[in-house]
């Protein structure tokens, strides 16, 4: 791994889009055993399904009134925005879900619980496409041009990170899953770091996404990396100021580190210094490009959740994990 940061690509990046497993995850006596208290997520069809809200979001082609309504108007009467999105198993419905989610996260009128739901749905649709290769050609052939470039990049980045998930663990990690800073506050930290160190904000956001899901994961990697940007203590001593677990301080330290490693002139080298893995570098660059092309895409990534691959299946680690 990179001399600066710990094995974050192997440990945490693989929690990302694909929800894959950490090959050498931290083992702790405090980590809960998988004895049925945390079942695999509803995404996998192994627990009781939440309301399939996504099916209501794309108006029928034969209904001109519904087709004329704005997306926020179509969302207005729906409830249960705290439910886990249920993702389709057929190509036609997946196209509708993907397009609806991609457009929704870019719509500034969609905020709060609705935005969080759509970001989560967006994440799960890409994971479905990774896990079901037979659906991909039909889905991507039907994606409209306004979201096609983003869909291509998001899928490719997700596939990069999926490659980490080859080992199945039997214990959940000894982490806490916490609420990240408010969406605009966190964006302000990226911009502050960009202003100070000339590192484009969308690279910082992409690294924060890959490392800890925008700071949701609070805990050490197996190598001892810590905080929302996953610094090794020795690297923090050299580049950090303040609290390694504080999102503001950690993001500024990441900007400082990336600048020292070659950013912004050579972002490949700088990201490689952050984690010595080509798939990691490629995924960070692709997520960053999605946000560079459309800054509102950040709103969707902010809603992506922590999933963890175990021998028993994929487990969603929600805010508040582990339960007291």
- Please tell me the predicted confidence (pLDDT) of residue 208: 98
Looking at beta carbons, which pairs linking 246-253 to residues 24 or more positions away fall under 8 Å? Answer: 247/180, 247/181, 247/186, 247/189, 247/215, 248/181, 248/189, 248/192, 250/215, 251/189, 251/190, 251/192, 251/193, 251/204, 251/208, 252/189, 252/192, 252/193, 252/196, 252/197, 253/229
Contact 105, 300 (CB under 8 A): yes
Q: What is the pLDDT of residue 296?
A: 98
Give the pTM: 0.82
Query: Which CATH number applies to 8-32+179-303?
Result: 1.10.530.10
| Tens-place pLDDT, residues 27-50 | 233 444 333 333 333 333 333 333
Highest mean pLDDT among 9-18, 31-40, 136-145: 136-145
Q: Where are the domains of the chain?
A: 8-32+179-303, 42-162
């Amino acid at each position: 791994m990179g001399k600066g940061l710990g094995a974050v690509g192997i440990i945490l990046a693989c929690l990302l889009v694909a929800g894959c497993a950490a090959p050498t995850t931290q083992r702790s006596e405090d980590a809960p055993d998988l004895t049925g208290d945390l079942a695999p997520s509803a995404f996998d069809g192994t627990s009781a399904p939440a309301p399939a809200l996504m099916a209501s979001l794309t108006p029928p082609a034969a209904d001109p009134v519904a087709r004329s309504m704005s997306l926020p108007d179509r969302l207005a009467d729906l409830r249960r925005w705290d439910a886990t999105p249920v993702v389709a198993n057929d190509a036609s419905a997946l196209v509708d879900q993907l397009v609806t989610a991609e457009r929704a996260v870019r719509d500034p009128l969609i905020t709060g619980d609705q935005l969080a739901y759509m970001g989560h749905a967006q994440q799960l649709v890409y994971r479905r496409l990774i896990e079901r290769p037979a659906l991909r050609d039909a889905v991507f052939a039907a994606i409209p041009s306004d979201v096609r470039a983003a869909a291509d990049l998001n899928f490719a980045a997700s596939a990069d990170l999926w490659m980490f998930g080859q080992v199945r663990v039997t214990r959940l990690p000894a982490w806490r899953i916490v609420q990240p800073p408010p969406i605009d506050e966190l964006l302000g930290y990226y911009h502050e770091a960009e202003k100070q160190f000339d590192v484009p904000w969308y690279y910082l956001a992409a690294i924060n996404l890959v490392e800890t899901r925008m700071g949701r994961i609070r805990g050490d990697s197996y190598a001892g990396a810590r905080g929302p940007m996953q610094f090794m203590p020795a690297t923090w001593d050299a580049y950090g100021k303040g609290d390694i677990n504080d999102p503001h301080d950690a993001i500024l330290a990441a900007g400082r580190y990336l600048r020292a490693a070659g950013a912004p002139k050579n972002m490949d080298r700088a990201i490689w210094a952050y984690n010595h893995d080509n798939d990691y570098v490629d995924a960070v660059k692709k997520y960053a490009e999605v946000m560079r092309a459309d800054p509102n895409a950040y709103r969707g990534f902010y809603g992506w959740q922590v999933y963890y691959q175990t021998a028993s299946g994929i487990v969603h680690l929600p805010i508040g994990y582990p339960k007291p």
